[in-house]
Amino acid sequence: MSQMTAVRATNELHADAFIHGENTLTVISEQPFEEVAARLEGSIAANAMTIVQMHDFNQLLAGNSIRLSGRCRVYEVLEPRLAVQLVVADPALAHLLPSRIAVHEDDGLTTVTAPMPTAFMTEYSHVLSVARLAKSFEAGLHRVLSALR
C-alpha cells in the first residue's frame, strides 16, 4: 500500500481504528487530543519505553508566527535496553534513535502515528541482528498504540 493510499484509507476510516500500514502504525480516535496524548504517555511508560523529548508543534511554530489548524505533538521514544543493543550491533543506526510517535488532531479526530522500525532500520543496516532488534522495538510500539484503542 503506497503512502498516499494509506493516507486516503486513514481519512476514510471510522474512529477507534488501528491501521498496520506498510511503513507505519496508526490509531485513529474520536477522543480529545489531550486525553489521547495522556493515554499515549501512560502507555509508553507501561511498555518500558522512555519519552526522551516531546515537541509541541503548535508552540514551536507560534514562535515563528505560524499557526496550525489543529494540535500536533511529536514524542521521541525509545526502549533503553533495545537502543543499546541496536547501537552496539550497528553504531551507524544511532541517528535513527529515538523513534518518533506523532499525535495530531484534524476534523474532530485524533490520530497517533509511528514509523515501523522494521521498515526503516533495515534500510540503513545490513547487520543481521538489526532486523531482530527492530522487530522487538516494533512489537513494543505496537503494544503502545494498541492500548489506545
In angstroms, the CA 133 to CA 131 distance is 6
Q: What is the percent of the chain with per-residue pLDDT over 90, rounded to a whole number?
A: 70
pLDDT computed for residue 113 by the predictor = 96
The CATH number covering residue 24 comes to 3.30.310.70
Q: Which residue has the cell 525509545?
A: 78
Cα torsion angle, 101, 140, 81, 83, sign: negative
CA angle 41, 42, 48 (to 5 degrees): 95
Mind listing the pLDDT tens digit for each residue in 14-61?
556 778 778 999 999 999 999 999 999 999 999 999 999 999 999 999
Rounded Cα distance between 76 and 113, Å, is 12
Domain span at residue 27? 3-146
C-alpha cell, 37? 496524548
Write out the three cell numbers for 76: 521521541
Give 109's pLDDT tier (boundaries 50, 70, 90).
Answer: very high
Through-space distance between the first and last CA atoms of the chain, rounded to whole angstroms: 23
Domains in the chain, number: 1
